[in-house]
Amino acid sequence: MSDELPALPWDRARRRTGPARIPLTRDRIIEAAYTVIDRVGYEKLSMRQVAAELNVAVSALYAHVSGKDELLELMYLRMFRDWELPAPDPENWQEQIRQYARTGRTKLHEHRDMARIAMTGFPFSAEALPHLEQLLAVFRAGGLPDHLAGAAGDMISTFMNGFAFEESVWDDRRQEAEEDGERPAVERSWAEIRQTLERYFRELPPDRFPNMVELADVMLQRTNDERFDLGIEIIIRGLASYAADHPRPSG
């Protein structure tokens, strides 16, 4: 950027051999959008910022992307890349679902605020349908009755997206506080957030909040990873309780 020289005359020939600029493509735009959102977050992600990231006029984007909505959708769909699906295994469906949910959350965390985008994305795209299909297969292999297999995938993804969404809200709150420079040190990490909340809960008036005071530590000693795993575990156990009612045909 800053160390560019005035055009060197003898470079003219070189420049004409290949295109002077890397051509703008959907992929490059999506990539730029990722780096912008990682830097400034969902609320401040704008077409102009993406264009600036590419050293390009805003209007140039609209030749490759119909608008901001489509760009967000494309960012969402990119998430499904290289997301390998489990092959149904009757003996192992619970672990398969656990793994699936974990990698889902990981992918949502790969870029800042992706959960906010995922939550408003269309859930029946060509990229997402194979996931739905495969989850159905896994649940049926596990012996879940049909009417539950259909709802189970929804539940997992709703919880996964909702959980990650809430995480991203906390993250944004923290980063905003940092950027404003108001409280540079407090609440810098999840550990500190938990610590702050635990202290706050413990100091609530015990007559009105006896349970929160008493359980402050046990509620907040868990990391987000553990809380997420526990949530998935609860859903799986709930589902499994139905599988027991309708044992799968042994054949």
Partner DNA sequence: GGATTGCGATGAACAGCGTTCACCATACAC
Partner DNA sequence: GTGTATGGTGAACGCTGTTCATCGCAATCC
> In the complex, which residues of this chain contact DNA (CB under 7 A)?
16, 19-21, 23-24, 44-49, 55-60, 62-64, 67-69
Q: Which of 220, 216, 164 is nearest to 192 (CA)?
A: 220
Q: Which of 163, 174, 187, 243 binds a copy of itself (CB under 8 A)?
A: 163
The least distance separating DNA from the CB of residue 50, rounded to whole angstroms, comes to 8
The position carrying tokens 């999840």 is 190
Residue 136 binds which of DNA, a copy of itself, none (CB < 5-8 A, kind-dependent): a copy of itself
Within residues 111-140, the interface with a copy of itself by CB under 8 A covers 119-120, 123-124, 129-130, 132-133, 136-137, 140
Q: Which of 68, 150, 195, 202 binds a copy of itself (CB under 8 A)?
A: 150
Closer to a copy of itself by Cβ: residue 184 or 206: 206
The position carrying tokens 């879940």 is 144
Residue 64 binds which of DNA, a copy of itself, none (CB < 5-8 A, kind-dependent): DNA
Residue 191 binds which of DNA, a copy of itself, none (CB < 5-8 A, kind-dependent): none
- The answer to the question of residue 40 lying near a copy of itself (CB under 8 A) is no
Q: Which of 48, 75, 1, 58 is nearest to 24 (CA)?
A: 58
- The answer to the question of residue 190 lying near a copy of itself (CB under 8 A) is no
- The answer to the question of residue 146 lying near a copy of itself (CB under 8 A) is yes
Within residues 199-228, the interface with a copy of itself by CB under 8 A covers 200, 204, 208-212, 215, 218-220, 222, 227
Q: Which residues bind a copy of itself (CB under 8 A)?
A: 119-120, 123-124, 129-130, 132-133, 136-137, 140, 146-152, 154-155, 158-159, 161-163, 165-166, 169, 197, 200, 204, 208-212, 215, 218-220, 222, 227, 230-231, 233-239, 241-242
